[in-house]
């Protein structure tokens, strides 16, 4: 504890404050009475927080502890409304708190909060309940939306450059283009919920205060293989369904395959004639170029230099 004769250590104060604020809340959303080391939080708070005429040191620190976790919980819910709709609000809250305790925020931005959610739930499936597979697909779509909105955009190939692509061309996909192979058409669910979320946020302040939102009910969906691209244009997100062949070709380009290898991967096990394949590839590249999806790979750029 600092005294009048001891120097103030800002770094230690920040570490103590962070440790106290970031510790999980109790089930009834209060600050824990003891920290992870077993020390009384009354004692801990008294070492670096002064009481005032209205609140004890514990109570003042508890305000920050609660607001920190409420902000994380709110950001998590904003990022994954589809997941909540699939597994239900009660299970969602339990999953959210378990995940945030396993993977607390370690970034300067809350944008990265859900980056490990898919991997975590894959190894902790009990938190999702009976709709695990759908929940995992929904998480992939919702996280892809975040990546598509934030990731970089490189100079795309023009239509003229795309028409000059040869057999040895080394291409790349825009970093913001996210490719997904799903077991469910989860994009329909996520798109509907995100649009609803936008409408509700735009209506804040215009609806009567006593008009409560309808409770979210767990949603069901039948399996259907779905190939999807999520991309950004003019600061807006767009979803585009792909055929299996187009998806496989794009995925091969994304992982760095040469164009012949990418096309071979795209049409693996296909019974299409050569003429049909050529027509499809021409249509694909015209569409990709118009949307600005294709750019030069770093390998080809360095070889040109």
Question: How far, in Å, CA of 155 to CA of 37, rounded?
Answer: 53
The tens-digit pLDDT sequence of the chain (305 residues) is 454 456 678 888 899 999 999 999 999 999 999 999 999 999 999 999 999 999 999 999 999 999 999 999 999 999 999 999 999 999 999 999 999 999 999 999 999 999 999 999 999 999 999 999 999 999 999 999 999 999 999 999 877 776 677 666 778 999 999 999 999 999 999 988 877 777 776 665 444 444 344 444 556 788 999 999 999 999 999 999 999 999 999 999 999 998 899 999 999 999 999 999 999 999 998 899 899 999 987 545 444 54
Q: In a 3-state reduction of DSSP, which class is residue 226?
A: strand
Q: What is the DSSP string of 70-109?
A: HHHHHHHHHH-HHHHHHH-HHHHHHHHHHHHHHS---SSS
**DSSP H helical ranges for 110-221:** 117-123, 132-150, 159-163, 186-202
The residue among 197, 187, 196 whose CA lies nearest residue 221 is 187
Question: How far, in Å, CA of 42 to CA of 302, rounded?
Answer: 61
Tokens of 22: 């970031």
The residues that bridge with 232 in the sheet, in sequence order, are: 237
Tokens of 123: 């190894």
Question: How far, in Å, CA of 145 to CA of 142, rounded?
Answer: 5
The residue among 163, 160, 239 whose CA lies nearest residue 194 is 239
């Amino acid at each position: 504890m600092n005294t009048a004769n001891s120097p103030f250590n800002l770094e230690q104060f920040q570490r103590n404050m962070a440790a106290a604020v970031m510790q999980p809340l109790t089930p009834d959303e209060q600050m824990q009475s003891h920290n992870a080391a077993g020390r009384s939080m009354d004692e801990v708070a008294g070492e670096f927080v002064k009481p005032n005429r209205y609140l004890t040191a514990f109570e003042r620190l508890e305000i920050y502890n609660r607001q920190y976790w409420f902000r994380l919980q709110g950001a998590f819910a904003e990022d994954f409304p589809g997941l909540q709709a699939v597994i239900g609000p009660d299970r969602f809250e339990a999953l959210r708190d378990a995940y945030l305790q396993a993977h607390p925020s370690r970034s300067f931005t809350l944008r990265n909060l859900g980056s490990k959610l898919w991997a975590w739930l894959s190894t902790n499936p009990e938190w999702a309940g009976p709709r695990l597979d759908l929940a995992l697909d929904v998480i992939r779509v919702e996280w892809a939306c975040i990546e598509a909105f934030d990731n970089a955009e490189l100079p795309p190939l023009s239509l003229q450059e795309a028409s000059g692509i040869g057999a040895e061309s080394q291409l790349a996909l825009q970093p913001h283009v996210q490719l997904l192979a799903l077991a469910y058409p989860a994009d329909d669910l996520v798109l509907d919920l995100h649009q609803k979320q936008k409408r509700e946020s735009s209506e804040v302040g215009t609806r009567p205060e006593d008009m409560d939102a309808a409770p979210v009910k767990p949603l069901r969906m039948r399996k259907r293989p779905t190939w999807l691209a999520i991309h950004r244009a003019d600061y807006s997100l767009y979803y585009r369904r792909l055929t299996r062949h187009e998806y496989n070709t794009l995925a091969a380009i994304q992982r760095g395959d040469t164009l012949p290898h990418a096309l071979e991967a795209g049409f693996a096990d296909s019974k299409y004639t050569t003429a049909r394949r050529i027509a499809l590839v021409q249509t694909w590249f015209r569409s990709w170029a118009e949307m600005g999806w294709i750019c030069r790979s770093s390998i080809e750029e360095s070889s040109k230099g």
